[in-house]
Structure 1
Amino acid sequence: MNELYGPLDSEGRVPPLQQTRIAAFLISAHGALARQSAFTLPTKLESAWQTELNAQLFRETEIVSLLMRATSWAPDPGLGYMTVAWESAWFPAPVYEISDWPLAVAAGLATLAHAVHAGIRPATLLPAEANPEDPFAMALRRIEFESGRLLQAQILSLKGPDFVPFRDAVNSALERRHAEVRRLWRDMLQSVGIAIRE
């Protein structure tokens, strides 16, 4: 097992099979966030968290689009089974202790988004000798940069006044989501020969 992507090819690029599986995982996660944001977003914005949700929708869509174009795709027979497992994990999980249903759904989405943006750090596994001009490497760095920005929005949302009365329930949901996302990310990386330290 390696601790970083690779071995890199002669041009300093991540192997296509690793690119394929990593990109598929990230597209699955960020695509789920985009879909859920689209369905959670009301037609008229009435509160601050809805404004952030609108911004998140378009940033998540941009991440998916970037990965689809920047990845050197390779045939991967195991991807079908893995994608089903990933998509099941991203299924909406409203915070049921919140009686206001749109707010309960938004809280569930915010916990998933926080876990994805905080728990998945794809660029940190790039070796120092990775080609900085490679589209895939650049895409991973861009995703990590955007995730940092989106994470700040999720923190503000989860600490906002709407969720104060439900702090324990939201924190519990957040812990569950973080554990699930970390496990999925670790398992996917292990499937392409990368071991990450907890």
Structure 2
Amino acid sequence: MSAFFGPLEADGRVPPRQQTRAAAFLISAHGALARQFALALPARFDAAWQAELNAQFYRESEIVSLLMRATAWVPDLALSHMTVSWEMAWLPAPVDGIADHPLAQAIQLSTLAHAVHAGIRPAALLPTEANASDPFVMALRRIEFESGRQLQAQILFLKGPDLLPFRDAVSAALERRHAEVRRLWRETLESIGIVSCE
């Protein structure tokens, strides 16, 4: 087991099997976020945080599109059952004690997004000798950059004054989501010979 992708191919590219498994996980997570952001978007914005939902929807869609094109895909029979477990994990989880449905939906979505963007650091798995011009390598670095930007918006919302009365419920939901995302990402990495450095 290694802490990085590899052993790399002769030209410094990440092996296609590792690309396929990692990209499938990332597409599942970011695709679920894109779908949920799309469903959470109201027909008309009544609050500033709703405008941010729109921006996040497009960023998640871009990440999925980028990975679809940048990955060197190979057949992977294990993905069928792995994808089912991932998709089940991304389903909306109720937030206790919040009666306002649109607000509760935004909170559960933001906790999932926060966990995905903070808990998954794909570019950190790239060894220094990875081919910088490889589309997959470039995609992982771009995703990490975008995740940092999106994380700031999620922090502002989750720590904002509107959620002050629900701080305990938000913290509990965030902790649950982080634990789940970390577990799934660790299992995915272990399945391709990478030991997670949490």
**TM-score when normalising by structure 1:** 0.99
Q: 2-side partners of 1:15 and 1:97: how far apart?
A: 46
1:43 to partner: Cα distance: 0.9
SS at match of 2:43: coil
Question: How far 1:45 moved relative to its partner?
Answer: 1.0
Per-residue CA deviations over 1:122-155 (Å, capped at 9, x if unaligned) read 0001000000000000000000000000000000
> Which residue of the partner structure matches residue 143 of structure 1?
143
Aligned to 1:152: 152
For structure 1, list consecutive stretches of 5 or more residues without a partner in the other structure: none
Residue 41 (str. 1) matches residue 31 (str. 2): no
For the residue of structure 1 that corresponds to 2:52, the secondary structure is: helix
Q: Which amino acid in 1 is paired with 2:68?
A: M
Task: Name the SS for the 2:127 alignment partner.
Answer: coil
Q: Assess if the C-alpha contact under 8 Å between 1:94 and 1:109 holds in 2.
A: no
- Could you say which residue in structure 1 is the equivalent of 2:24? 24
Structure 2 match to 1:130 = 130
5+ long unaligned stretches in structure 2 = none
Identical residues among aligned pairs (%): 72
| Contact residue 93 and residue 108 of structure 1 kept, 8 A | yes
Q: Which is further off, 45-54 or 171-180?
A: 45-54
What is the identity, as a one-letter code, of the residue corresponding to 1:192? Answer: I
Please report the TM-score for the alignment, with normalisation by the length of structure 2.
Answer: 0.99
> What corresponds to 1:109 in structure 2?
109
Q: Hey, what does 2:118 align to over in structure 1?
A: 118
How large is the RMSD of aligned CA atoms in angstroms? 0.6
Aligned to 1:70: 70
Aligned-pair CA distance for 1:83: 0.1
Q: Aligned pairs, how many?
A: 198
Q: Which residue identity does 1:104 align to in structure 2?
A: A
Q: What is the CA-CA distance between 1:162 and the residue it aligns to?
A: 1.9
